Chain A
Amino acid sequence: MVDDFIFFLSIFVLAVFVGYYVVWSVTPALHTPLMAVTNAISSVIIVGAVIAIAVPGISSANWFSKILGFIAVVFAAVNIFGGFMVTSRMLAMYKKKEK
């Protein structure tokens, strides 16, 4: 059996290449929205924060994790809502010439 790590490493390496080609094709005019939306999507780290919040709170270490998870969910949520909303606000402004 192949180790799990190799499996995830393969995904990682391939995704870096996908990212490389996809981002080169982004038009320079949209580089600011690109940064805003990458912020929003990298906040998918919220999945790790939700796991921390849902730790069964018996030991003090687990309560510590719960609190960290709570703060992390707040931060990630700011980014997710803020990032996607500000991106769509920006994208709505890009208009073509009226003919």
Chain B
Amino acid sequence: MNPNLAAFLYLVSGVLFILALRGLSSPATSRAGNRYGMIGMTIAVVTTLVSSQVWPGLDIITVFLIVLALGIGGGIGGVVAKRVPMTSMPQLVAAFHSLVGMAAVLVAFAALYSPDNYGIGTPGHLHAQSLIEMGLGVIIGAITFSGSIIAFAKLNGNMSGSPILLPARHLINIAIASVIVLLLVIFIASGGDALWAFWLATLLSFGIGITLIIPIGGADMPVVVSMLNSYSGWAAAGIGFTLQNTALIITGSLVGSSGAILSYIMCKGMNRSFISVILGGFGADAGDAAAAGGAREARPVKQGSADDAAFIMKNAGSVIIVPGYGMAVSQAQHALREMADFLKEEGVKVSYAIHPVAGRMPGHMNVLLAEASVPYDEVFELEDINSAFSQTDVVFVIGANDVTNPAAKTDKASPIYGMPILEVDKAKTVLFVKRGMSSGYAGVDNELFFRDNTMMLFGDAKKVTEEIVKAFGH
């Protein structure tokens, strides 16, 4: 195919990818957006197959290999996409990131070993510019791969979610990073001849991906997942420069900025700087402090039964439900919907309030509620619903803790001071579904538990909710 026509078609698929993201501005247009994305991908793949770089090389073995690879990959992807439970979405996304990262590494190596096919020089005599792009692509790709594997293991429970702190971890990371930069300089200065430097830089990048992510704790995962999303985009863009492919450059920059924006939103939701999240260790020190101060935990709380909760909510005018990670863990969303349906039949106004960092990834709670067929116009973001709490009779907090803690507004010494919270303390009554009196991720006590208008419902989120639904029955 004429290279100009191919370049034009890549541009078309890049534009379709922009429209795919644009569609997500509202649930109504999102499905059309997803279709644009699929069309864009089809155009990009077909264009590549008939391009002057691929078409002449398409002998029978090559065609067989491409079909086989697409079949294996498509089959695995399809089965996983169909089977994965919605609560495992954070792990799945982390796994997907790792694959993008690894694909970028593999393509960079292929370009290095067969540069003539990519039009970037001959072996040992590559254009300096391509060497830089390839080097950056491979380093970011490798970090994305190993970092995402660690994030996956933490989210999936193969690895403890608590921070793992190596001694002198910052020094180790700085040392590895400096060696990687040095190797990259050697590689570029050699004109692509020093293959060993490229290999070694790649291996060290896999290593630093691990050491960067292990000190970051479970509840900081929304930032990590978003950040790796961003990295996977920049890696793709880097490779896009090597291939001089506009579709890849456009997509890489879209994904790169998307991940960066999500990281920013998540950091703001926790009032933490991006740097402090990346340096890791949050929750580890605070956890020790809480354990040390465990003696003062013996303050009285008001404990209630499912029957009490059912009675209070049935007689309320309005109820706001605040879900958190605990709801995801116990898969309570379906029982919760049943409870809300019953309340609505009784004439109670029900809405849901979602904190930006509730759960383990951006939008985690929204997906779970959508899965349980909660209409999306009953679900509100923090800034849209916070003013409503003072006119609300009952708040039902299920599996959330730190995001409701008034200490974030009042206690300057608290590690969560300054974090935007859902102001559930302003409601007339607060019902807290919790497994026990343990503190939240930040390791701080929640003053709300001890208030007169708070009732604690101890137990598994799903079980408690089901008991409340049962209690409605009689």
Q: Which residues of A contact B (CB under 8 A)?
A: 4-5, 8, 11-12, 15-16, 18-20, 22-57, 61-62, 64-66, 68-98
Smallest distance from the beta carbon of A81 to chain B beta carbons, Å? 3
Smallest distance from the beta carbon of A12 to chain B beta carbons, Å? 5
| Choice from A4, A39, A93 contacting B371 with Cβ under 8 Å | A93
Chain B residues, CB < 8 A from A39: 93, 96-97, 100, 229, 232
Chain B residues, CB < 8 A from A34: 21, 24, 258, 262, 362-363
> 7 closest Cβ contacts across the A-B interface?
A77-B73, A31-B363, A82-B77, A81-B77, A52-B110, A19-B257, A31-B362
Residues A72 and B233 in contact, CB atoms below 8 Å apart: no
Residues B110 and A48 in contact, CB atoms below 8 Å apart: yes
| A interface footprint on B27-55 (CB within 8 Å = 1, 0 otherwise) | 10011011001101100110111000110
Residues B118 and A15 in contact, CB atoms below 8 Å apart: no
Residues B81 and A19 in contact, CB atoms below 8 Å apart: no
Contact-size category for B? 35 or more
Smallest distance from the beta carbon of B340 to chain A beta carbons, Å? 12
Given contacts A45-B239, A61-B123, contact A75 B73 (CB under 8 A): yes
Residues B246 and A35 in contact, CB atoms below 8 Å apart: no
Residues B356 and A28 in contact, CB atoms below 8 Å apart: yes
Residues B103 and A87 in contact, CB atoms below 8 Å apart: no
Query: Is B468 engaged at the interface, CB distance under 8 Å to the other chain?
Result: no
Given contacts A39-B229, A45-B239, A81-B78, contact A19 B253 (CB under 8 A): yes
A52 to B356, CA, bound (A): 42
Residues B70 and A22 in contact, CB atoms below 8 Å apart: no
Chain B residues, CB < 8 A from A19: 18, 21, 253-258
Chain B residues, CB < 8 A from A35: 93, 225-226, 229, 258-259, 262, 361-363
Query: Is B129 engaged at the interface, CB distance under 8 Å to the other chain?
Result: yes
Residues B31 and A96 in contact, CB atoms below 8 Å apart: no
Residues A82 and B80 in contact, CB atoms below 8 Å apart: yes
A54 to B116, CA, bound (A): 12
**In the complex, which residues 361-385 of chain B have their Cβ closer than 8 Å to any Cβ of chain A?**
361-364, 366-367, 370-371, 373, 375-379, 381
Residues B111 and A42 in contact, CB atoms below 8 Å apart: no
Chain A residues, CB < 8 A from B244: 4, 8
Query: Is B178 engaged at the interface, CB distance under 8 Å to the other chain?
Result: no
Query: Is B424 engaged at the interface, CB distance under 8 Å to the other chain?
Result: no
A85 to B73, CA, bound (A): 13
Residues A25 and B25 in contact, CB atoms below 8 Å apart: yes
Residues A31 and B41 in contact, CB atoms below 8 Å apart: no
Given contacts A30-B24, A42-B233, A48-B243, contact A16 B251 (CB under 8 A): no
Contacts A22-B18, A47-B45, A75-B103 supplied; 4 other A-B pairs, CB < 8 Å:
A44-B247, A52-B107, A54-B54, A76-B103
Residues A79 and B26 in contact, CB atoms below 8 Å apart: no
| Choice from B27, B57, B256 contacting A30 with Cβ under 8 Å | B27
A48 to B62, CA, bound (A): 15
Smallest distance from the beta carbon of A22 to chain B beta carbons, Å? 5
Q: DSSP majority for the A interface?
A: helix
| A interface footprint on B313-330 (CB within 8 Å = 1, 0 otherwise) | 000000000000000000
Chain B residues, CB < 8 A from A92: 31
Chain B residues, CB < 8 A from A24: 261
Chain B residues, CB < 8 A from A44: 13, 17, 40-41, 44, 236, 247-248, 251
**Which of A4, A23, A98 gathers most chain B CB within 10 Å?**
A23
Query: Is B292 engaged at the interface, CB distance under 8 Å to the other chain?
Result: no
Chain B residues, CB < 8 A from A27: 24-27
A74 to B110, CA, bound (A): 15
Residues A49 and B103 in contact, CB atoms below 8 Å apart: yes
| A interface footprint on B1-35 (CB within 8 Å = 1, 0 otherwise) | 00000000010011001101110111100110110
| Choice from B44, B99, B363, B379 contacting A32 with Cβ under 8 Å | B363
Instruction: Determine the residue in chain A with the shortest Cβ distance to B31.
Output: A91
Residues A89 and B82 in contact, CB atoms below 8 Å apart: yes
Residues B375 and A37 in contact, CB atoms below 8 Å apart: no
Residues B77 and A64 in contact, CB atoms below 8 Å apart: no
| Choice from B53, B58, B363 contacting A28 with Cβ under 8 Å | B363
Residues B258 and A79 in contact, CB atoms below 8 Å apart: no
Residues A32 and B364 in contact, CB atoms below 8 Å apart: yes
Smallest distance from the beta carbon of A46 to chain B beta carbons, Å? 6
The stretch of B84-92, B167-175, B186-194, B297-305 in contact with A is B84-92
22 contacts between A and B (CB under 8 A): A19-B253, A27-B24, A29-B363, A32-B367, A33-B30, A37-B20, A38-B21, A38-B229, A45-B239, A48-B118, A48-B243, A50-B49, A50-B66, A54-B117, A55-B114, A69-B106, A72-B103, A74-B72, A83-B81, A92-B31, A94-B370, A97-B378
Residues B14 and A15 in contact, CB atoms below 8 Å apart: yes
Residues A53 and B65 in contact, CB atoms below 8 Å apart: yes
| Choice from A11, A41, A46, A77 contacting B20 with Cβ under 8 Å | A41
A83 to B375, CA, bound (A): 24
Instruction: Determine the residue in chain A with the shortest Cβ distance to B55.
Output: A54
Residues A72 and B34 in contact, CB atoms below 8 Å apart: no
| A interface footprint on B230-268 (CB within 8 Å = 1, 0 otherwise) | 001100110111111111111111111111011001000
A25 to B18, CA, bound (A): 12
Residues A66 and B378 in contact, CB atoms below 8 Å apart: no
Chain B residues, CB < 8 A from A41: 17, 20, 37, 40-41, 251, 254-255
